[in-house]
Amino acid sequence: MAVLLDKNTKVIVQGITGYQGMFHAKLMKEYGTQVVGGTRPGKGGEEIDGFPIFDSVREAMDETGATASVIFVPAKFSKLAAIEAINANIELLTIITEGVPVVDTMEIVHRAKKGNTRLIGPNCPGIITPGQAKIGIIPGSIVTPGEIGVVSRSGTLTYEVIDQLTTAGMGQSTCIGIGGDPIKMTNFIEALELFENDTNTKKIVMIGEIGGNAEELAADFIKEHVTKPVAGFIAGKTAREGKTMGHAGAIVHGNVGTAEGKIKALTQAGVKMADKLSDIPVFLK
C-alpha cells in the first residue's frame, strides 16, 4: 500500500514542452512512473521524445486514463493550468512552480476543495513512493522502499532527511514535499492523517520550519489522532524577527511562528524533536 501515488498511477505533465517539464518528465519515466503524456495548447496530436502531446488536460485524461497531473509552467500561468486540471476532475495535482502569487494560490486551493482534486504545492518538490513512482523533482537515487513516511515543508531538507534515512538503512513508504508557501491545501495534518491510515507506514518523519502555525496545529492533531511514532525537526532557529528565510511562509512575527514555540508544541505532543537531521534515524531506531 502507498500514500497517494503508486506504480499504477498514470501521470500527465502540464508544460511538458518546456525545458523543465521535459527534463523531469524523462526522469519520472526513468524511475518507473507511468508518464502517459503532456499538454501544450496548439500542439495536440504531436509526439515529442516519445511523449504524446494533448491540447488539454481533459483530452489527455480521456485518451490515457490519467488520474494525476504535475505542473511545470511559469508562475503567471500556473493558476490557469491548475484550474484547467481541477475542472477536468484530476484526482491528484502537484504544482512544482515557485513564485505563484498568493492570491492565485488561494483561488486554486478554493477550487480544489470544492472539486475532486487533491492538491500538493505550489513551490514544492512533489511526492515519491520509493520503488514505484514519483511526481516532481525528488531524486529517485536517494530513496529506498520501507516503512517510514516523510512529510516536509522544505524541499532541500526533504532530500537531506531522506538521504539520512536511506544511509542508515531505513526505507520510506512515501515522501511528500508539501511546499514552503503560506497557503496550501495538503498540509501537515492531511499528510499525517494519510500516514496514520496507511498500513505500510510504521513511523513518521515531519520536517517543519519557522513561520505560521502549521506545526502547532499538527502537534494538536498528533496528540489526538496519531498513534505511530513521530520524529521531527524545525528549521530556522537562528532567524531574526521579520526576516524571510528561503520560503514566503517562513517568517517570524513577534512570538508567532518561532522555532522554540513549534518545538515545544511538538515535544508536548510526544514527537521526538531532533537538534540536527542526523539525529532522526537514531530516534526512529
- Report the percent of the chain where pLDDT is more than 90: 86
Q: Are 201 and 160 in contact (CB under 8 A)?
A: no
Active site (annotated) includes residue 24: no
Rounded distance between C-alpha atoms, residue 52 and residue 37, angstroms: 5
Residue 211 has pLDDT above 90, yes or no: no
Residue 254 has pLDDT above 60, yes or no: no
For the whole model, what pTM was predicted? 0.93
Residue for grid cell 526505507: 171
CA atoms within a 13 Å half-sphere pointing along the CA-CB vector of 239? 26
pLDDT per position as a tens digit, 133-145: 999 999 999 999 9
- Give the amino acid at 219: A
Exposure string over 147-160, b if 16+ CB within 10 A, otherwise e: bbbbbbbbbebbbb
Q: Are 147 and 200 in contact (CB under 8 A)?
A: yes
Beta strands in 17-132 (DSSP E): 34-39, 47-48, 51-54, 68-71, 92-95, 118-120, 126-129
Q: Are 270 and 222 in contact (CB under 8 A)?
A: yes
Contacts of 141 (CB under 8 A, 6+ apart): none
DSSP characters for 127-195?
A: EEETTTEEEES--GGG--EEEEEEEES-HHHHHHHHHHHHHTT--EEEEEE--SSS--SS-HHHHHHHH
- Report the percent of the chain where pLDDT is more than 70: 93
Contacts of 61 (CB under 8 A, 6+ apart): 12, 67, 88, 90
Q: Are 116 and 91 in contact (CB under 8 A)?
A: yes
Q: Which of 24, 225, 247, 253 is catalytic?
A: 247
Please tell me whether residue 87 adopts helix, strand or coil conformation: helix
Residue 258 has pLDDT above 90, yes or no: no
pLDDT per position as a tens digit, 35-53: 999 999 988 999 999 999 9
46 CB neighbour count, 10 Å cutoff: 12
In order of their start, the domains of the chain are: 10-120 (3.40.50.720), 138-284 (3.40.50.261)
